[in-house]
């Protein structure tokens, strides 16, 4: 019984710390007087929690504002340099490791391009280990001040194994890769630094929901279009994972029975039509020249011939490429119509490096196609827009994994654990 009481007190304390930290993180700076109504806590509780968090070094003063006739009110905010985060994007064309402060300002980054289909797990793990050490050294940050490392990976992340996260990346040839234990074994991190692993599309989705085009939405889908195609589904503010966290594999929904071969082994998937890899393959089939450069350069070349920026220069348009771009927009729009019909989101956000490039040219065509293929009532109530965080948001999203843990615990585990007192 006493144990239960202890636990309840501890839970309450953690909940209060979490409420204050979260409010200040997303809406700060705020005064103590503003925090009470915003969190539903009494002014006494606010004073206690603020004193505790300040003693832990997590809050700092941010000037003051005058109040009507009374004393000026001190503003508080989360101390951005009180802890650090690392986000890792194991992407389709490169691996990137970025170090952030608590406000997610980038302090250092390391990046390595991957050769085509170069998903050699050992090389990737080795690069992450070296890059983590490099960014910490470059920014002069001690590993102990890391809240954690978040890693976005291509594939389905299974957390049911006792050894930690295992990745099933069918399209990149990762068959049950025990990424978490591999990173631990490679001593990529000090053992006490927590590691968080999730699908890249989901980490990007979380970043857009917190800081980008998804802010304020309760029901949204973030579509990630790069070499492949994925999605992050948010229903009533919560990420929808399904029974084994594989939900959102939108790229492998069938657009055409007996259609083009997909990287997953099936036929006619959306990814086989609307991903950058598919568009470039199809462009080459109609005589386009993707060249030897990386996919981003090649996709830019395709867009330049399909839809030259200079409207006066219509003579430069390659009609076949223009027709392919139009068809790609129609496939994307039809895929988005499926999302609208299935999930009834209020907002759909097109993101990922290829999604942003295609969207800049074809957003009106994608919206038209979505309107034509979806049911009228839901699609008229859905907005379709581009992501706001740019193509590099997977690392930011990966860094939100340890950040979310920090905010929900109301601090680092160490400070908020009663045993430490």
Question: Does residue number 264 form part of the binding site for Zn ion (CB under 5 A)?
Answer: yes
Distance of CA 51 to the CA centre of its chain: 33
Binding segment toward Zn ion, per CB under 5 A, in 237-245, 261-269, 296-304, 332-340: 261-269
Question: Does residue number 246 form part of the binding site for Zn ion (CB under 5 A)?
Answer: no
Q: Are 234 and 206 in contact (CB under 8 A)?
A: no
**CB 252 to Zn ion: min, Å:** 4
**CB 184 to Zn ion: min, Å:** 31
**CB 95 to Zn ion: min, Å:** 23
Distance of CA 44 to the CA centre of its chain: 37
If we measure between CA atoms, which residue out of 82, 12, 33, 11 comes closest to residue 53?
82
Mark residues 166-195: x for contact with Zn ion by CB under 5 A, - for none.
------------------------------
**CB 250 to Zn ion: min, Å:** 10
Distance of CA 205 to the CA centre of its chain: 4
Out of 136, 153, 233, 262, which residue is the one contacting Zn ion (CB under 5 A)?
262
Out of 269, 299, 334, 396, which residue is the one contacting Zn ion (CB under 5 A)?
269
Binding segment toward Zn ion, per CB under 5 A, in 50-58, 104-112, 115-123, 244-252: 244-252
What values do phi and psi take at 61, rounded to 5? -80, 145
**CB 172 to Zn ion: min, Å:** 12
Question: Does residue number 156 form part of the binding site for Zn ion (CB under 5 A)?
Answer: no
What values do phi and psi take at 379, rounded to 5? -70, -30
Find all residues with CB under 8 Å of 118, minimum gap 6, and list them: none
Report d(CA 198, CA 202) in Å as an integer. Answer: 7
Question: Does residue number 229 form part of the binding site for Zn ion (CB under 5 A)?
Answer: no
262 versus 329: smaller Cβ distance to Zn ion: 262
**CB 156 to Zn ion: min, Å:** 13
Report d(CA 398, CA 393) in Å as an integer. Answer: 8
Binding segment toward Zn ion, per CB under 5 A, in 11-19, 260-268, 350-358, 361-369: 260-268
254 versus 344: smaller Cβ distance to Zn ion: 254
Residues numbered 94-133 forming contacts with Zn ion, rule: CB under 5 A: none
Question: Does residue number 252 form part of the binding site for Zn ion (CB under 5 A)?
Answer: yes
For 68-117, the DSSP string reads TTSPPEEEEEE-TTS-EEEEEEE-SSEEEEEEEETT--EEEEEEEEPPTT
Report d(CA 340, CA 356) in Å as an integer. Answer: 20
Pseudo-torsion of CA 150, 153, 157, 159, nearest 10°?
Answer: -30
Total number of residues that touch Zn ion (CB under 5 A): 5
Angle value at C-alpha 70, between 64 and 72, nearest 5 degrees? 10
264 versus 404: smaller Cβ distance to Zn ion: 264
**CB 271 to Zn ion: min, Å:** 5
230 versus 411: smaller Cβ distance to Zn ion: 230
259 versus 290: smaller Cβ distance to Zn ion: 259
Report d(CA 8, CA 304) in Å as an integer. Answer: 62
Q: What residues line the site for Zn ion (CB under 5 A)?
A: 252, 262, 264, 266, 269
């Amino acid at each position: 019984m006493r144990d239960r009481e202890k636990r309840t007190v501890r839970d309450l304390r953690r909940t209060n710390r979490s409420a204050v930290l979260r409010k200040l993180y997303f809406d700060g700076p705020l005064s103590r007087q503003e925090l009470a109504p915003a969190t539903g806590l009494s002014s006494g509780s606010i004073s206690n929690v603020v004193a505790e968090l300040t003693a832990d070094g997590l809050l700092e003063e941010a000037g003051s504002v005058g109040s009507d006739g009374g004393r000026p009110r001190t503003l508080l905010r989360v101390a951005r340099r009180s802890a650090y985060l690392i986000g890792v994007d194991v992407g389709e064309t490169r691996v990137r490791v970025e170090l952030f402060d608590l406000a997610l300002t980038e302090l250092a980054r390391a990046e390595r391009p991957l050769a085509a289909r170069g998903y050699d797990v050992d090389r990737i793990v080795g690069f992450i280990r070296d890059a983590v050490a490099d960014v910490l050294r470059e920014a002069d940050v001690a590993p102990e001040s890391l809240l954690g490392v978040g890693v976005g990976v291509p594939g389905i992340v299974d957390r049911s194994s006792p050894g930690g996260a295992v990745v099933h990346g069918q399209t990149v040839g990762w068959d049950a890769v025990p990424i978490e234990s591999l990173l631990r074994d490679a001593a990529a991190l000090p053992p006490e630094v927590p590691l968080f692993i999730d699908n890249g599309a989901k980490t990007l989705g979380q970043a857009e929901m917190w800081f980008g085009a998804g802010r304020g939405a309760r029901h949204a889908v973030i579509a990630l279009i790069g070499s492949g195609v994925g999605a992050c589904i948010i229903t009533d503010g919560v990420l929808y994972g399904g029974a084994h966290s594989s939900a959102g594999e939108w790229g492998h929904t069938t657009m055409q029975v007996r259609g083009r071969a997909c990287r997953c082994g099936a036929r006619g998937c959306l990814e086989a039509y609307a991903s950058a890899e598919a568009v470039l393959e199809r462009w080459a089939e109609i005589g386009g020249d993707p060249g030897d450069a990386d996919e981003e350069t090649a996709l830019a070349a395709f867009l330049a011939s399909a839809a030259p920026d200079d409207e006066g220069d219509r003579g430069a348009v390659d009609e076949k490429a223009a027709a392919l771009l139009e068809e790609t927009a129609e496939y994307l729009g039809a895929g988005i119509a499926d999302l609208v019909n299935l999930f009834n989101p209020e907002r759909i956000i097109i993101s990922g490096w290829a999604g942003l490039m295609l969207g800049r040219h074809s957003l009106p065509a994608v919206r038209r196609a979505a309107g034509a293929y979806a049911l009228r009532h839901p699609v008229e109530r859905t907005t379709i827009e581009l992501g706001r965080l740019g193509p590099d948001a997977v690392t930011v999203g990966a860094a939100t994994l340890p950040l979310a843990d920090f905010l929900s615990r109301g601090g680092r585990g160490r400070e908020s654990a009663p045993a430490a007192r």
